Amino acid sequence: MTAITIQRLVLLALTLLLAFSFSSVAADWVRGADPYVKNVLSTTGDPMQGHAIFQMNCAGCHGWKGEGKVGPSLCSVSKRKSRIRLIEQVISGKTPPMPQFKPSPQEMADLLSYLEGL
């Protein structure tokens, strides 16, 4: 391959990477404009309350400590998903067999606070 061809391929790869990164950030920004999400993100969560919510609604599939059973492990999930994406995951019902679940903004903030400690 010629040097020009390699440069074009590298430029194309960088352009695609930049476009993907931008679209991901833009999607989070748009989701963050949702009133429910804004309310959750502006609320301080209590991890103890979040633990109780997790035990009642999530532990059956994700394990008592989030280690995973039927559902995937949630250990370090906050390092893999943004708070906005975690909220969407919980409330959307788009990931069967996970049921749709829309807690109050305070409960969601509590749950996020607990998940961030896993």
Residues 76 and 65: beta-carbon distance below 8 Å? no
The C-alpha atoms of residue 19 and residue 17 are separated, in whole angstroms, by: 5
- Name every residue whose Cβ is closer than 8 Å to that of residue 63 and which is 6 or more positions away in sequence: 69, 73
pTM score, whole prediction: 0.72
Residues 86 and 112: beta-carbon distance below 8 Å? yes
Q: State the pLDDT at residue 21.
A: 62
Alpha carbon 107 to its chain centroid, in Å, reads 16
33-72 confidence digits (pLDDT tens): 799 999 999 999 999 999 999 999 999 999 999 999 999 9
Average pLDDT estimate for 110-118 = 97
Task: Say if residue 22's pLDDT is above 80.
Answer: no
